[in-house]
Amino acid sequence: MNIIFAGYRKWSYEILKNLLKAQNSKWHISQIITTNYPETNFHNIAVPCLNIDPKDLKNNTIKNVCRKTPDLFLFYGWSWIIPKDIYARYLCLILHPSPLPKYRGGSPLQHQIINGETKSAVTILQAGEKIDAGSVYAQTPFSLMGTFENIFTRIVTVGTQDTIKVLDSIANKTIRPIAQDENHATVFKRRKPEESELTIKDIQTKTSVELYNFIRALSDPYPNAFIKCKDGKKLLITGARLEP
């Protein structure tokens, strides 16, 4: 299988490197697509890499950049809607860090942590018309405790293992994806930077754990929690500890 990998997140870059080491005679990654503002340099990898505007991701672009017709796309750490002329023609898999059908949509990690969730899941699913609603190829739990560095390390480990299994199974035609249960679906919108504000009311009404999770969920690389100060500036809160 000829695979195109699309991503711009640092954790997706780490998964990509692991997949390149694991590729075999049945599947291989021949093309990388990233944005003009990736979190790390995808061009460091010895595979043809194209920087694009995500809004220009159309079928004619794919034809222009691919040496071979792709059999499959991996959209890992990709934050934009996949055009219908791609997912309708090719099998497109997404890695979404939530226990789908719960926490569909944007900012899944932040929403889960702020809501007090302690466990999540790496879900590999098929892209389709409805966001994060496609059939599931794999789903493995992981912990949401600790820093984002801890969390991303778990996502890379689980995401690599599950992706290799899924690709091998697709190549061998031994996998049957499972439809999501719409009765348990929840959908969240991508968080906006202004939603990172901590107000006096928050401090007066939220518990220490809720405030801690709010700050932890908004640590780098996401818009940090902040307090508006008297001089009009924002005081960024990049870390917090709970008293024993």
Tokens read off for 80: 């934009």
Q: What angle do CA 98, 102, 107 make, to 5 degrees?
A: 55
Residue 101 C-beta-side C-alpha neighbours within 13 Å: 13
Tokens read off for 222: 């996401």
Asked if 46 and 32 count as a contact pair (C-beta separation under 8 A), the reply is no
Distance between first and last Cα of the chain:
52
**Domain definitions of the chain by residue range:** 2-188, 193-237
> CA 229 → CA 193, 211, 226, distances in Å?
16, 18, 9
Quick one: average pLDDT of 6-23?
A: 96
Q: Give the pLDDT score at 65.
A: 67
Q: Per residue in 148-166, pLDDT tens? A: 999 999 999 999 999 999 9
> CA 161 → CA 138, 142, 194, 224, 239, distances in Å?
10, 13, 36, 31, 31
Tokens read off for 205: 């009404």
Asked if 163 and 11 count as a contact pair (C-beta separation under 8 A), the reply is no
Tokens read off for 59: 């079928």
What element of type H or E holds 208? Answer: helix 208-217
Q: Per residue in 47-93, pLDDT tens? A: 989 888 887 777 667 766 666 688 999 999 998 889 888 899 899 99
SS3 state of residue 142: strand
Q: Give the pLDDT score at 149.
A: 93
Quick one: average pLDDT of 6-14?
A: 95
Q: Per residue in 208-235, pLDDT tens? A: 999 999 999 999 989 999 999 999 999 9
CATH topology assigned to domain 2-188: Rossmann fold (3.40.50)
Strand pairing report for 49-52 and 28-35: parallel
Tokens read off for 107: 């900012």
Strands (E), the chain: 2-6, 28-35, 49-52, 72-76, 91-97, 104-105, 119-126, 136-143, 187-188, 225-228, 234-237
Task: Please confirm whether the linkage preceding 221 is cis (ω < 30° from 0).
Answer: yes
Q: Give the pLDDT score at 60.
A: 67
pTM (2 d.p.): 0.93
